[in-house]
Amino acid sequence: MNRARRGRALGLVLAAGVTMTTAACGGAQESESVAGGPVTITVNGLPAATDEFNRAHFEADVKAFEAKYPNIKIDAKEGLMDPQTFSAKLAGGQLEDVFYVYLTDAQNLIAKRQVSDISTQLAGFPVTKDYKPGLMKVFSDAAGKVYGLPDENYSLGLIYNRKLYQRAGLDVNKPPVTWAEVREHAKKISALGKDIVGYGDYSKSNTGGWHFTAEVYSIGGDVAVKDGDTWKAAFNDDKGRQVLQQLKDMRFTDDSMGKRQLLEYDDLIKLMATDKLGLYVGSTGDMSNIVNQFKGTFADYGLGPIPDGKGTLGGGSGYMFKAGLSPEKIKAGLTWLTFKKNPDRIASDNKNAAAKGLPVGLPEPNVWSGASEQKLIEATKQYANIPSENFAPFAAATATIPLKLEPPNAQQVYAALDPVMQKVLTDPSADIGQLLTDAEKQVNQILSSVK
Amino acid sequence: MAVITASRAHRGPNRLRRRIGDNLQAYLFLAAGLASFALFSWYPLVKGVILSFQQDNLVVPPYWVGLDNFRALFADPLFFTAWRNTLEFTGLALVFGYAVPFVVAMVINEFRHLKGYFRIAVYLPVMLPPIVSVLLWQYFYDPGSGLFNSVLESLHLPTSDWTQSPKMAMISLVLVSTWSNMGGATIMYLAGLSTIPSELYEAAELDGASVWQRVRHVTLPQMRFVLLVLLLLQIIATMQVFVEPYQLTGTTNEETITVMVLIYRYAFTVNNDFGLAAAMSVLLFVVLAAFSAVYLRLTRNAD
């Protein structure tokens, strides 16, 4: 009875949640104009109080910024992009003026007209011309209008556990460079014990589709291609089948992927940090999580290139400006973003981080090109403090492996591909051809709305 | 006639005023309740129906799209998958969740000692927040080192992949749901059982009725009404299953995606389309309203 009531309450809450959103969304257009007067902008990205160093650093930045630009006040909020609360914040007028997004969200927000065009004001900030053009495209529409700026960028490689490599008698400095080698290494590592997983992969909360895409890219395949003016699915081919067949073989023939599946982002990080996992596809950001959240040490983990290396998925984050923002606020927001992320201050940021023992020099693809990129390279070299040999295989390959951006409507495409990964990793009789055909239909439907 | 009308007219407002005056306090209390219902139930309900015919990006004012949202629903293969799964869950939940509490209630009712203890033990899971129950069972179900497989292995019995197995996924969800929900139903059955006059059982025993015959000819007919009401309540509750599939198998698992999970997916994760989610909510509302109408009719007749 209680549950019956609770169930109905959930239904109502959901209905209310869906419906109340409309109630609050009337006048979103910014009416106030503050010509000449002080402008206050709300921004997010303020680190949590538990992350002492980064929070203090952020707050010091706000102080220095307000001293330099007395006409702009920064109202900083905690949090990054949470897709589940984003809509509610937008509807309730609580969304920050300048807000954090993942690269996969940008095009969707532009298409839904939930962000402001910043092209006019951008001309006043020449440093933004040094952002990599490919990344700027993510924040632009088909007509070339710009709606946001990139902040960070990652590319996927292969994270491996050096302790388990040693125990399995594998060379700790030679992570696999092909998928065939991944299979061999995983077999040896999983032979170490019942609870040790050789190779791990995702299949829940859109991360399955994300990794399937990365793995298809790695062997030179594609997930979506442009066909004239529209996009269409491109994974229902030999490459798509190859990726799934290898996973199925590793899971059921070799038994090197462990029994527990339906894993999502944190699961593999936890397994790696607790020395229960040999290998998985990940980025330098995961390495930082392993070290920061689980108190691991960088020396125990290594990063190799994405196997086969025909292409690697690149993603990242940036900041966008909420719809209906006044030109003054857009200008203030751009002033803040270019103050906070500026090639001229990388050296001093690195110096501070190194002094606190935080990692400097993780080999990540960066957002800059030209002179700004040179400044970054110099400043990184000067203060790098992590065992670079652990990342050498990844860093060496970065220059030669092409970086491929995610497909349009990436999160929706990933959601449609999740069941494919789930089925292959949980059902020994999964029909790979049928799974790909079914997913292709769904992805084509999702892509049909992309211009 | 005119005199009578005049006198009635004279008496009418006075009576009304007096009646209002007498019950003023009650009306004030009622007003607070009505306002709450209006604001938190009826208004969102009406807005939800309106939204199902609209497209809304939460920035510019919403605009009408006619039946487009409903057409999009019927074009989505997941729509039918979700309904099929929901009906499967409801069906399985009736097999397990409906019969098990009744049997448990009858067994507890037979105990002469420790009846109170068992009543509490059965009801305890209801007090856990649903997500906690589900997380607990997630550990039990772990096909690697989970409790269930460890026990099965130690008894040399075949193990299962539980939520990960396409065949067992839905049953696994129903088991969690049954465990965490059966307390409420059991207590209601126990209450119903306690109202059956013991003379009926004594008479049956004197006539030489077996245990099964007593259940069949005394307990079941006497409990018919409680059983029917709980059946309807259970259908209404289980058709809204959300937490179990959301946490245990995710929002993209086609074997277990339910109507509520699909609504959530439409609104908040994959589609970010509130119109579509509202359209699906309206359909669910219509189905549940039909069951609720039967329930109300039954309980009203009983009064």
3-state secondary structure of A199: strand
How far apart CA A109 and CA A81 sit, in angstroms, is 12
B271 in A contact zone (CB under 8 Å): yes
C-alpha closest to that of B178 among B89, B254, B118:
B89
B:32-91 residues touching chain A, CB 8 A cutoff? 40-41, 43-45, 47-48, 50-51, 54, 56-62, 77
Min Cα distance B16 → chain A (Å) is: 37
A12–B58 C-beta distance less than 8 A:
no
Q: Which H helix or E strand runs over B20?
A: helix B2-37
Above 80 in pLDDT, residue A352? yes
Tell me if B47 and A112 make a contact (CB, 8 A cut-off). no
Q: Which residue of B has its CA nearest to A264?
A: B250
Q: Could A259 and B250 be called an inter-chain contact, meaning their C-beta atoms sit closer than 8 Å?
A: no
Which of B270, B284, B288, B299 best probes binding to A when mutated, by most A CB atoms within 10 angstroms? Answer: B270
Model pLDDT for residues A201-248, shown as the tens digit of each residue: 999 888 999 999 999 999 999 999 988 888 999 999 999 999 999 999
Residue A425 has pLDDT above 90, yes or no: yes
Across chain A, what does the average pLDDT equal?
Answer: 87
Instruction: Give, in order, the Cα–Cα distances in Å from A285 to each of A365, B19, B264.
Output: 11, 72, 29
B/e letters for A369-389, b = 16+ CB within 10 Å, e = fewer, are eeebeebbeebbeebbebbee
- Is the C-alpha dihedral spanning A157, A162, A167, A169 positive or negative? positive
Which of B145, B185, B242 is facing A10, going by the closest CB pair?
Answer: B242
For residue A21, pLDDT over 60 is answered with no
Return the CA Rg of chain A.
23
Tell me the percentage of chain A whose pLDDT exceeds 90.
57
Residue-wise pLDDT for B193-213, tens only, equals 988 998 998 899 898 888 889
Provide φ and ψ at B229, rounded to 5°: -65, -45
CB neighbourhood size of A416 (10 A): 26
Beta-carbon separation of A195 and B277 below 8 A? no
The pLDDT of residue B4 is 46
Q: Which residues of A touch B281 (CB under 8 A)?
A: 11, 14-15, 18
Three-state secondary structure call for residue A278: strand
Residues of B in contact with A422 (CB under 8 A): 250, 252-253
Model pLDDT, residue B303:
52
pLDDT value at A31 more than 60: no
In the prediction, which pLDDT does B301 show? 65
Inform me whether the pLDDT recorded for A269 exceeds 60: yes
Residues of chain A in contact with residue B237, where contact means CB-CB under 8 angstroms, are 3-4, 6-8
- Tokens found for residue B154: 């130690």
Question: Residues 6 or more apart from B299 whose CB is under 8 A from it?
Answer: B229
Q: How far is A347 from chain B (nearest CA, A)?
A: 39
- Which phi and psi (to 5°) does residue A316 adopt? 160, -155
Confidence of residue A170 (pLDDT cuts 50, 70, 90): very high
* C-alpha distance across the termini of chain A, in Å: 50
> Are B274 and A21 inside 8 Å of each other by CB?
yes
Q: What is the pLDDT of residue A32?
A: 40
pLDDT, residue A33, reads 41
Quick check: ipTM above 0.90?
no
Taking a C-beta distance cutoff of 8 angstroms, is the pair B234, B227 a contact? Answer: no
The pLDDT assigned to A5 comes to 38
Q: What is the pLDDT of residues A32-55, one digit of tens each?
A: 444 567 999 999 999 888 778 788
The alpha helices in A145-221, defined as continuous H runs, are 162-167, 179-190, 207-218
Low-confidence ranges of chain B (pLDDT < 70): 1-12, 301-303
What is residue B133's predicted lDDT score, i.e. its pLDDT? 94
| CB contact (8 A) between residue B59 and residue A10 | no
The phi and psi torsions of A274 (rounded to 5 degrees) equal: -100, 15
Q: Is B200 at the interface with chain A, CB within 8 A?
A: no
Query: Across residues A15-30, what is the average pLDDT?
Result: 37
CA–CA separation, A15 and A5 (whole Å): 15
pLDDT at B71: 94
- Which pLDDT tens digit goes with each residue over A292-346? 777 788 889 999 999 999 999 988 899 999 999 999 999 999 999 999 999 999 9
Helix/strand/coil for A277? strand
DSSP A355-382: HTT---------SB-HHHHHHHHHHHHH
Of A3, A90, A415, which is closest to B184 when you measure between CB atoms? A3
